Structure 1
Amino acid sequence: MTRLKALPDVPRWAVVAAHAVPLIVLPSGLWRVALTFGAPVARVEDPTLGLAVYQLGLTVVAELLAFLTLGLVRAWGEVFPRRLPFLGGRPVAARGATFAALSGALGLAALTCWFTYVAFAGFAPYSPDNITESTLQKTLFLVCYLPLAAWAPLLAAVAVAYHRRRRPQGIG
């Protein structure tokens, strides 16, 4: 097995967790792309260009945000890459990065709780029962979206490891 790249002082579990985040976000994105391009993964009443742009945009933004988790275990999470204008070569503020990551984890946890509640209560137009027409479609939907429930705890754990590693010595 190839070694996952990270800084030498990053715990192995944090490296694995950070690399897992983009992979757990990927299935839902692939499901949305398939839906956008007409695959029979769910029922769409009135596909519009706006809906397609929204679905593809959401997929790209979610995957980009998921990839940011890697910055918590890589060198570019400690020093901005030189190619970035104005910031290149400057250190990343550990408190700011930790705050952003933990805020993201909290927001993801809230979204996960809300969408889980809505899906099981069944009163949203986007609950699995309302958008799927067959058992196979519902199963595919759940297989693609259930991994997202792990995004918030993984991000929070990696953010805490980042904070512990980057905090000034002597501060708890």
Structure 2
Amino acid sequence: MRTLASRAAAVWALLYGGLGAAWALGLPGYPWGASDPDPDGALSVLSATTPRFGWWIAAFALLTLVTALTHRASLFVAWPIAVVLVLVIPDSRLMMGVAYTPLLLVAPVFGWGLGGATFADAWPWPVLNQLLCVLGGLLLAASALGGGRSQVFTPTLGRRAAYVAAVVPLVYCLTRWAWALGIPLGVSQEFLAEGEGGLWLFGAYLATFGALGGVLTLGLTQRWGEIFPRWIPGLRGRRVPPLLAVIPAGFVAIIITVAGLTYIRWTIAGRFALDEWGAWLPECFWPIWGAALATATVSYYLRRVRS
């Protein structure tokens, strides 16, 4: 397992490092800076860079390559690199792309226009590039794990983490549901009026997904998270494949943590007003949500593979 993950991480580093060098040499498609469609350049931590930064990307990829192939170094270097690739480089657009995808899939069925939005709008190249960075970070993290199973992730810790992950998003959910109902919870009446064209309905949609995700998180500690319930035709009574829960839960943990870190950066930069706390404060707690969900997910996985 470790050998396969290490090789995959090494291949990723080799290819991405080559891409960084190619950008520095003039290849179009550099995903940050002037070519990024982000209107104000405030989302990405690399928004101020130019294609010449590709040389630094190549150097970073070379370090990743060496780390993936050198097992002794991975314990000290792999995790910081993985954190940078998974949590620092991506931004909140990763979560927005995931949120828009179900709407874009069903919109033609119901005749919804969605303001002319397309998959290209939800997943422009700079956001797809973020997925590539996350992939590289996860491969390197898998390489560093090396098949070891930490005793830290106990069932008790998993249960507590699941409860935290189910409760934290409710503050965000309450504000967005309130706005959809015309209640200015945490914002001014003027702010609320800015979204009367349907924006708050989309916010309520996101909030509902967050609440449902909280309920599903509890499944990581319940029997119905291991055995399909009776009301599911064709699957009732069968064991739930661990990865069926682990992969989506792990990915959601990443994207909500990344989005929360983006809001924290904006808060530190003074982009928000205190009297409009409903528009930003709930999101600042998302890294706690993501960490709790990740903890519950790892605990679930270890419990399942040990049983």
* TM-score (norm: length of structure 1): 0.74
Greater length-normalized contact order (CA 8 Å, ≥ 6 residues apart): 1
Unaligned runs of 5+ in 2: 1-153
1:144 and 2:292 aligned: no
1:38 and 2:182 aligned: yes
In the alignment, the residues of structure 2 paired with residue 49 and residue 143 of structure 1 have an alpha-carbon distance, to the nearest angstrom, of 23
Call closer, same or farther: CA 1:106–1:143 in 2, change over 3 Å. Answer: closer
| Match of residue 161, structure 2, among 3, 17, 29 | 17
1:156 and 2:294 aligned: yes
> Which letter does structure 2 place at the counterpart of 1:74?
Q
1:98 and 2:246 aligned: yes
| Match of residue 83, structure 1, among 227, 231, 247 | 231
Structure 1 stretches of at least 4 aligned residues deviating more than 4 Å after TM superposition: 140-143
In the alignment, the residues of structure 1 paired with residue 279 and residue 197 of structure 2 have an alpha-carbon distance, to the nearest angstrom, of 22
> Which letter does structure 2 place at the counterpart of 1:14?
G
Call closer, same or farther: CA 1:109–1:63 in 2, change over 3 Å. Answer: same
Match of 2:172 in 1: 28
In the alignment, the residues of structure 2 paired with residue 117 and residue 147 of structure 1 have an alpha-carbon distance, to the nearest angstrom, of 13
Give the structure with the higher percent helix: 2
| Partner SS, residue 198 of structure 2 | helix
In the alignment, the residues of structure 2 paired with residue 36 and residue 88 of structure 1 have an alpha-carbon distance, to the nearest angstrom, of 37
CA RMSD, Structure 1 to Structure 2 (Å): 2.3
Does the Cα contact within 8 Å between 1:21 and 1:67 map onto a contact in 2? no
Does the Cα contact within 8 Å between 2:180 and 2:200 map onto a contact in 1? yes
In the alignment, the residues of structure 2 paired with residue 111 and residue 142 of structure 1 have an alpha-carbon distance, to the nearest angstrom, of 11
Call closer, same or farther: CA 1:147–1:163 in 2, change over 3 Å. Answer: same
Call closer, same or farther: CA 1:86–1:120 in 2, change over 3 Å. Answer: farther
In the alignment, the residues of structure 2 paired with residue 93 and residue 110 of structure 1 have an alpha-carbon distance, to the nearest angstrom, of 27
In the alignment, the residues of structure 2 paired with residue 80 and residue 137 of structure 1 have an alpha-carbon distance, to the nearest angstrom, of 43
Q: Compute the displacement of 1:141 (Å).
A: 4.9
Match of 2:305 in 1: 167
CA deviations 1:39-90 (Å, max 9, x no partner) are 3332134333522321221111111012211111100110110101232222
In the alignment, the residues of structure 1 paired with residue 176 and residue 225 of structure 2 have an alpha-carbon distance, to the nearest angstrom, of 29
Q: How does 1:118-133 map to 2 (within 5 A)?
A: 118-121=266-269, 128-129=272-273
Stretch moving more, 140-149 or 159-168: 140-149
Larger radius of gyration between Structure 1 and Structure 2: 2
Q: Compute the displacement of 1:38 (Å).
A: 2.6
- Equivalent residues, number: 150
- Identity across matched positions, percent: 27
Stretch moving more, 41-50 or 157-166: 41-50
